[in-house]
Structure 1
Amino acid sequence: MRFVLASASPARLAMLRAAGVDPDVVVSGVDEAAIIASLSDPAPAELVRTLAAAKADDVAAGVLDGDARGEDTVIVGCDSMLSIGGEVVGKPGTPEVARTRWKAMSGGSGELLTGHAVVRLRDGVVAARAEGTRATTVRFAAPEPQELDAYIATGEPLAVAGAFTLDGLGGWFVEGVDGDPSSVIGISLPLTRGLLAEVGVGVVSLWGARPDA
């Protein structure tokens, strides 16, 4: 079976590899801003689930177009956002936005929302699909001004949901996690395992798999 990760996230790829799965990586071309704009006041869980599904479907369409053999394939799409102070935020993109986010998070907590979608392809068609979300509470430290300056200067918080990482430099400023730590890193292993089971794939069958196997 071919396993495809529909994400460019190095953290998600590293998490899967550490968990025994070495996927193909195919990045979707969806316009996230357009999808968000098309939704009418979505709940946070609906937002991340819809984006994850759009990414998985986009990659699935491309895989089907290029697969003349009808290879048995599972595709996993992911999306993460942080709910802080009643606002749902994604990647900050700029140092200014990252600093504003950290002022709101410092010494407090937020809810990291992760949406996953799994699409299974068989015999050249979509045979099954499953979607779900996971919410995990993250408790933040209060970085000293010079620590925050140094962290933002690394560029790491600019390209990750909520302007922090758990498995990188941002981990120094996380006091604790209440829930699933893998979802905070980017891909919830328990949720993914459950969704794979819904489409008829046992996760242990994927262990040791390689893209060229």
Structure 2
Amino acid sequence: MSTPLVLASASPARRTTLRAAGIEPIVVVSGVDESQVADLPPAELALQLAELKCAAVVDRDEVPSDALVLGCDSVLELDGEALGKPHDPDEAARRWRSMRGRSGVLHSGHCLRDVPSGRVAAATGSTTVHFADVTDEEIDAYVATGEPLEVAGAFTIDGVGGAFITGIDGDHHNVVGVSLPLLRELVLELGHAWPSLWTTT
């Protein structure tokens, strides 16, 4: 018997990652104001935002009574500072000028709640990301695509920005926004079998 997975996120990259892993999530956007949480270390910030997103949708009418609800949030740590979505082109360009030729740590918080029991399992995945020493012209061209404006850390590894990532240490999926190995551990912790989430085989 399959277990429905509700994804409390509007992220197309997270949805695509889950679909590629055989899971068709029910997307329920949390609407959480990410700016309400501040002054936390980056890894804790990512986890707290994931917990807030999960909690925001778990009681919604469109959530099946037998579902697992997954909240996720990603934050890039650079020089000890948490960098979320830049939203503004100038800010995105400034970010890239400070990141190029360096490495940061992408933290993705995961909070999984079992609706029938109310039990929660949560953890943060962290992956080191190495950035290419891109030129000012490349930065301006990338920012002009709009892609970096609405993603954590102002980059994607699975899109236009992928050419500007020279390598990672850790889980690739975590950089996209949802760590499949970590999610599997949380699913098992709540007493479910990972294959029970598969909707396509």
Question: 136, 145, 149: which is aligned to 1:154?
Answer: 145
* TM-superposed deviation, 1:205: 1.2
The CA deviation string for residues 92-121 of structure 1, in whole angstroms up to 9 with x for no partner, is 001100011101110000000110000111
* TM-superposed deviation, 1:168: 0.2
Question: 77, 84, 89: which is aligned to 1:83?
Answer: 77
CA distance in 2 between counterparts of 1:71 and 1:95 reads 42
Are 1:21 and 2:23 counterparts?
Answer: yes
Query: Structure 2 matches for 1:11-160, cutoff 5 A?
Result: 11-34=13-36, 36-37=37-38, 41-63=39-61, 71-122=65-116, 126-160=117-151
The CA deviation string for residues 120-164 of structure 1, in whole angstroms up to 9 with x for no partner, is 111xxx431111001110000011222211111000000000000
What TM-score do the two structures reach when normalised by structure 1? 0.89
> CA contact under 8 A between 1:74 and 1:119: conserved in structure 2?
yes
Greater shift, 144-153 or 91-100, is seen at 144-153
Unaligned runs of 5+ in 2: none
Question: 5, 8, 12: which is aligned to 1:6?
Answer: 8
- Which contiguous aligned blocks of 4+ residues in structure 1 show a shift greater than 6 angstroms? none
Q: Identity over aligned residues, as a percent?
A: 50
CA distance in 1 between counterparts of 2:48 and 2:118 reads 19
Unaligned runs of 5+ in 1: none
Cα RMSD after superposing both structures: 1.6
Q: Which AA in structure 2 matches 1:6? A: A
CA distance in 1 between counterparts of 2:21 and 2:51 reads 23
What TM-score do the two structures reach when normalised by structure 2? 0.94
CA distance in 2 between counterparts of 1:19 and 1:2 reads 14
**Corresponding residue of 1:167:** 158
* TM-superposed deviation, 1:44: 1.8
CA distance in 1 between counterparts of 2:173 and 2:196 reads 20
> CA contact under 8 A between 2:102 and 2:132: conserved in structure 1?
yes
* TM-superposed deviation, 1:31: 2.1
- 1:76 partner SS: strand
